[in-house]
Amino acid sequence: MIQRPYYDALSIDALQGALNYLIDAINAYAEQASVVDISGNTTLTAAQANGGVLVLTGSPGAGFNLTLPATAEITRVPSGAGVPLDGTYQFILSVVNETGQTATLVAGDASTTITGTATVAASRVRRYLVTYVSGVTVTMRNIGAHDL
């Protein structure tokens, strides 16, 4: 008698559900570029702060502040898709400055910490490692820069 492998239908259904969830999460958080037209000091939206690549365009007359939204707003966007808010979720935010003026990244409140260089010079790209430490705390660590 030939024995067939035993497959538990519930386990296969659970695996399919987990795979579908993973695909949805990957699609939801695939790196996208958000283009922001700058004319002066600007406050980002939560979606822009979570976008992966932020391209600054426009013609501000001088250097400008790029203010992050409140920490609770930043963490609210991804948490709906099951992103852990326990320090294990990180992503790289690349800020591409095409404006011709220096951008200064400013925390939206005291619960977001920016460590290292917070300025992005004209015609430069600066990368930050963003960590959701908790639902109310975010850290952004400068991890480098390069010319466009």
Which residue ranges make up each domain of the chain? 31-147
Residues contacting residue 40 through CB under 8 Å, at least 6 positions apart: 60, 61, 64
Q: What is the DSSP letter of 61?
A: S
pLDDT of residue 8: 53
Is residue 23 very low, low, confident or very high in pLDDT (cuts 50, 70, 90)? confident
Is residue 4 very low, low, confident or very high in pLDDT (cuts 50, 70, 90)? low
Is residue 30 very low, low, confident or very high in pLDDT (cuts 50, 70, 90)? low
Question: What is the distance between the alpha carbons of residues 70 and 79, in angstroms, rounded to a whole number?
Answer: 15
pLDDT in tens, 60-85: 989 999 999 999 888 887 656 677 88
Is residue 103 very low, low, confident or very high in pLDDT (cuts 50, 70, 90)? very high
Strands 42-43 and 64-67 turn out to be: parallel
Q: How far is CA 44 from CA 23, 37, 105, 145, in A?
A: 28, 11, 10, 21
**For the chain, percent of residues with pLDDT exceeding 90:** 50
**pLDDT averaged over every residue in the chain:** 85
Find the range with the poorest average confidence among 37-41, 107-111, 122-126. Answer: 37-41
pLDDT of residue 76: 82
Q: What is the DSSP letter of 84?
A: -
